[in-house]
């Protein structure tokens, strides 16, 4: 099994994605000093995957020959509407009202770029069920500051966990990085990232 890589180059400013790599023991470094315009397409999966590819390409010049570049883009879809990160308090409140008492889908598109230039891309979906939220709960949650850097204006790993009564699918996908799906796809391409820790 081919394994000529020492670590992952994580192209993200998300502390959640870094946390997932850390708890799974995968060596990595973070590079987030790049600007990519996240675009919105009619198809949610296309939106997440194409934005992830744009991010992984943005790391081309800083990727070392022994690194696997990894980028992801997470969106929330409710009633056919794509929710990214809220632009401010009003939009955060609007998003949370839309999610209240409903089932929504979290989609994370991801892209892996090998030093050869080959790009492996895919996505994961998870269904999330929100309890009914009161206006007081929404106001309280917004005051925590948590909604503003997260797709759909909530974080499953933070205060927002109390609003979720069920999920169907990958928990880590909702956090922003479906690590099990990524691992399986890399294995299919003869890359075993769990062996990096032993290098």
State both tokens at 59. 């790391």
Catalytic positions are 73
Query: Strand locations in 7-163, DSSP E?
Result: 7-10, 28-30, 67-78, 81-83, 103-113, 119-130
Can you say whether residue 110 is alpha, beta or left, with left for phi > 0 and alpha for psi between -120 and 50 degrees? beta
Helix/strand/coil for 27: coil
Do the beta carbons of residue 88 and residue 147 sit within 8 Å? no
* Structure-token pair, residue 31: 């590079």
């Amino acid at each position: 099994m081919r394994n000529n890589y020492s670590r992952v180059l994580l192209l993200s400013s998300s502390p959640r994605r870094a946390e997932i790599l850390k708890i799974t023991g995968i060596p990595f470094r973070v590079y987030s000093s790049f600007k990519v315009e996240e675009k919105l397409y009619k198809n949610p999966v296309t939106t997440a995957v194409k934005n992830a590819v744009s991010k992984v390409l943005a790391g081309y010049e800083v990727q070392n020959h022994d690194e696997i570049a990894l980028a992801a883009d997470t969106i929330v879809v409710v009633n056919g509407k794509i929710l990214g990160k809220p632009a401010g308090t009003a939009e955060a409140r609007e998003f949370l009202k839309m999610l209240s008492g409903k089932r929504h889908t979290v989609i994370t598109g991801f892209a892996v770029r090998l030093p050869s230039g080959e790009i492996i891309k895919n996505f994961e979906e998870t269904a999330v069920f929100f309890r009914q939220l009161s206006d007081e709960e929404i106001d309280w949650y917004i005051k925590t500051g948590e909604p503003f850097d997260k797709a759909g204006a909530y974080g499953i790993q933070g205060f927002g966990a109390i609003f979720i009564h069920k999920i169907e699918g990958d928990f880590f996908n909702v956090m922003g990085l479906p690590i099990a799906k990524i691992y399986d796809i890399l294995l299919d391409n003869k890359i075993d990232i769990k062996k990096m820790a032993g290098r």
